[in-house]
Structure 1
């Protein structure tokens, strides 16, 4: 079964076109107009082994908030669609990722229940031109629209760039684990409720 999804979203604030292949090789073509965010989304695709093509135009003259949040909305929605009824999925994933002095843990459940627990504090207010508070907004939009439970916890770190990058890479590795098909499950839904 193909797990390739294309989504488009247009509002008065942003216009986003996205194609996601859960069974890719980590190729990314990202253009949001926010350099550091592009770097993080490229790392997400690479380490999750998704193929991700994403074009976003937003009201960057206002600030980056709308673009970052709306990319999270569209990517999360695409993940939910690509997962389908979740038959055969491993469902849970976790990763503990170092980035120099930073160490971030991601744990997630493709449960159908949207929740973000975000225990990461960034020492600086910006990375490049991007406000560091927007990382939490991205992950909140992603988790909410993918309908996953996601816990992100910083265990160490004092460099904002490293902490942010570890968040994206840990989430990527946890998604890669959770969205892998378990051949022992066959077409079973990974839940005692038989529905997720």
Structure 2
């Protein structure tokens, strides 16, 4: 079973083509127009062992909001499509990632129950020209479209770049665990018989 998907999204604000492979090699080709987001998505793919291609043309002359939000939407949709019926997956993932003085934890449940719990204090309002509010915006849209419980907890940290980097690395590692096929899991990983 090949677990990959392609998503295209065109609005008056963005035009995005995204390809996502769960069982990849951690390779990414990223043209987002938002350099810091590209850096974070590269880390996400590398640490999740996912293959990710993003070609985005957005209204970045306004700011990075619409592009960041819509890439989150597309990535969530691609994850849902690539997972298919979710038979045999571990479903849950948990990862702690330190980045110098910062420690982030991401916990996911691929439950078809979208929810974001975001407990992170990012001290700086901007990292370069990237608005740090967009970290929440991206993760919220990802959680909704991937239909997953996504809990992000930053236990401590001072440097905003380190904090966000730890979050994206932990996100990749937690999703890698949750999407892993476990030969012990027969069918849908739920006592309900469905997710």
Instruction: Give the C-alpha shift of residue 23 in structure 1.
Output: 0.5
Instruction: Give the C-alpha shift of residue 76 in structure 1.
Output: 0.3
Instruction: Give the C-alpha shift of residue 132 in structure 1.
Output: 0.5
Unpaired segments of 5 or more residues in structure 2?
none
Q: Which residue is 1:98 aligned to?
A: 98
Unpaired segments of 5 or more residues in structure 1?
none
Listed as ranges, the matches of 1:79-90 within 5 Å are 79-90=79-90
Aligned residue pairs total 195
Q: Which residue is 2:140 aligned to?
A: 140
Listed as ranges, the matches of 1:108-147 within 5 Å are 108-147=108-147
Instruction: Give the C-alpha shift of residue 129 in structure 1.
Output: 0.7
Q: Which residue is 2:188 aligned to?
A: 189
| d(CA) in 2 for partners of 1:185, 1:164 | 33
Q: Which residue is 1:53 aligned to?
A: 53
What do residues 65-91 of structure 1 show as CA deviations (whole Å, max 9, x unaligned)?
Answer: 100000000000000111111100000
Listed as ranges, the matches of 1:165-180 within 5 Å are 165-180=165-180
Q: Which residue is 1:44 aligned to?
A: 44
**TM-score between both structures, scaled by the size of structure 2:** 0.99
**TM-score between both structures, scaled by the size of structure 1:** 0.98
Cα RMSD over matched residues?
0.6
Listed as ranges, the matches of 1:149-164 within 5 Å are 149-164=149-164
